[in-house]
Amino acid sequence: MTLKLSVVGTGYLGATHAACMSSLGFTVIGVDTDAQKIAQLSRGELPFYEPGLDTLLVSEIKTGRLTFTTDFSAVADADVHFICVGTPQSKDGLAADLTYVKASVAAIAPYLKNGSLVVGKSTVPVGTAQMLRDQLAISAPHADLAWNPEFLREGFAVEDTLTPNRLVVGVANDRAETILKEVYAPVIALGTPWIRADLPTAELVKVAANSFLATKISFINAMAEVCEAAGGDVTVLAKAIGYDPRIGNRFLQAGIGFGGGCLPKDIRAFMARAEELGAKQALEFLREIDQINLRARQRVIDVVRADLSEDLTKYRIAVLGATFKPDSDDVRDSPALDIAAQLHAAGAKVIVHDPKGIEPARKRFPTLAFEEDVRVAVKDADAILHLTEWKEYRELDPAAIGQLVKSKFLIDGRNMLDRDKWRNAGWRVHALGRTD
């Protein structure tokens, strides 16, 4: 008989996982405490922007396999329960806040049937899975717990769930692995590497991967700082070192650095956990990675001040991009929005444009000015800051934009615009990490 699944927490990760598991043929019940979110999802509306997931959600609901509810007792029928709730940075420190993870496991415990498996997917500090498993041994001894970290990237969430580059499962026994193999059978059949680990290793894989990615980005941004000091060009440097297959050319895009709901908080939580474990020194370097990352934002502000004036109150600055990366409406810890807000706080008149992120950005910074039309956003600007590399910004016509602004000054915070094209249209262009 086909397994029945529940997905607890229907945010980015949970909504994606629920729709994707349904598309594999499973009956899936998505549960969340947020009634508004559940109502929206039940109507087939996605509460966030993710390419391809909107249509998948609608088609899976139509099959009748995928349903959503706020009633936790609805999980009673399911054999496997995926925990997909958030683990944000806690308000009083660097550590991850485990409130939602603990509450979810406690909420489903009374309804777990004999032999069912709880599978954590949330990113958690190492040791959490064992702690939850111990708790479950008391509240629902007939159930088991495994950990199955998720590596999905926003903008590629469906692809990364259905055709991931690996599946990692942390299990305490063969039975848990067998159940997970049954769930992921269609994905395994594609040749996806399967890695069985113990619970702590599975938890660590996720934070290690994100720490490595963050390190790669901060490494190239550190090189950008050196290039600026030495008169070099970081884009050429990145291309040249990237040809070495041991280094690789991906995640070497220098610019204003990483943001989003994962990388920044994951490296901080990892440091906090290492300290608790007595391994603080091992992850000291991540503090530097974080610092380099935040410095990249400051460098843009420094360039603006150096070029316009220390006193920004008379200047109008158009910011292109609010989301932490393109093809997403996520503004969590967005470097672009952070820079916009800092310039605004410094007295500049800042107008922010973004193809998808204006509403979430407005919620976060209601005092910033937003414009839906890029041509209106740049009108009479003293400087344009390109901070999120949406495709439509690469397609802008520098000559036409030049007619609208007050001063043809562009800062490319992502090193993605064609500098020659802009320069040929009479623009002064400053790109991070490039001195010519």
Q: Catalytic residue positions?
A: 262
**Cβ of residue 153: shortest distance to ligand UDX, in angstroms?**
4
Q: Of residues 211-240, which lie at the interface with ligand UDX (CB under 6 A)?
A: 213, 217
DSSP single-letter state for residue 73? G
Helix (H, G, I), strand (E, B) or coil at 46: coil
Under DSSP, the state recorded for 116 is -
Is the dihedral angle over the CA atoms 177, 180, 182, 187 positive or is it negative? negative
By C-alpha distance, which of 214, 235, 233, 154 is closest to 416?
A: 235
The interface region with ligand UDX, picked from 107-115, 251-259, 338-346, 350-358 by CB under 6 A, is 251-259
Work out how close the CB of 222 gets to ligand UDX at its nearest, in angstroms, rounded to a whole number.
13
**Pick 150 or 233: Cβ nearer ligand UDX:** 150
| Residues facing residue 402 across a β-bridge | none
Binding mask 252-281 for ligand UDX (x = CB under 6 A): xx-x-xxxx-xx------------------
Among 49, 72, 111, 151, binds ligand UDX (CB under 6 A): 151
Enclosing H/E stretch for 302 = helix 284-307
Task: Name the minimum Å distance from CB 152 to ligand UDX.
Answer: 5
- Chain positions 316 to 355 lying near ligand UDX, rule: CB under 6 A, are 324-325
Contact pattern from residue 152 through residue 191 relative to ligand UDX, giving x for each residue in contact according to CB under 6 A and a dash for the rest: xxx-------------------------------------
Checking phi first, is residue 25 left (phi over 0); if not, alpha (psi -120 to 50) or beta?
A: left
Query: What are the residues facing 195 on neighbouring strands?
Result: 168
Residues across the chain: 436
First to last CA, the chain: 65
In angstroms, rounded to a whole number, what is the distance separating the alpha carbons of residues 170 and 404? 56
The H-or-E segment that residue 126 falls in is none
CB of 71 to ligand UDX, least distance (A): 29
CA distances from 381 to 262, 277, 426 (A): 33, 51, 15
- How far is it between the farthest Cα atoms of the chain? 71
Q: Is 147 among the residues that bind ligand UDX (CB under 6 A)?
A: no
Which of 29/234 has CB closer to ligand UDX? 234
User: What is the C-alpha separation between 410 and 16, in angstroms, rounded?
Assistant: 37
- Interface segment toward ligand UDX; rule CB under 6 A; list 55-63, 71-79, 246-254, 310-318: 246-254
**Residue nearer to ligand UDX on the CB measure, 59 or 249:** 249
In terms of CB distance, is 262 or 312 closer to ligand UDX? 262
Tokens representing 133 are 């498993």
Q: Nearest approach, Cβ of 122 to ligand UDX (angstroms)?
A: 11
Per DSSP, the residues of 240-265 read HHHTSTTT-STT---SS---SSSHHH
Find where tokens 């672009």 sit.
336
Question: Smaller CB distance to ligand UDX: residue 67 or 210?
Answer: 210
Q: Which of 104, 210, 211, 415 binds ligand UDX (CB under 6 A)?
A: 210
State in angstroms the smallest separation of the CB of 335 from ligand UDX: 6
Tokens 């600007």: give the residue.
381
The C-alpha atoms of residue 221 and residue 20 are separated, in whole angstroms, by 35
Nearer to ligand UDX, 353 or 408 (CB): 353
Question: Per CB under 6 A, which region of 27-35, 86-94, 103-111, 245-253 contacts ligand UDX?
Answer: 245-253
The DSSP call for residue 386 is E
Report d(CA 197, CA 174) in Å as an integer. Answer: 11
Q: Looking at beta carbons only, is 48 or 258 nearer to ligand UDX? A: 258
Nearest partner of 132 among 172, 94, 161, judged by Cα: 172
251 binds ligand UDX (CB under 6 A): yes
**Minimal distance in Å, beta carbon 213 to ligand UDX?**
6
Work out how close the CB of 40 gets to ligand UDX at its nearest, in angstroms, rounded to a whole number. Answer: 22
By CB under 6 A, is residue 360 in contact with ligand UDX? no
> Which positions touch ligand UDX (CB under 6 A)?
150-154, 210, 213, 217, 251-253, 255, 257-260, 262-263, 324-325
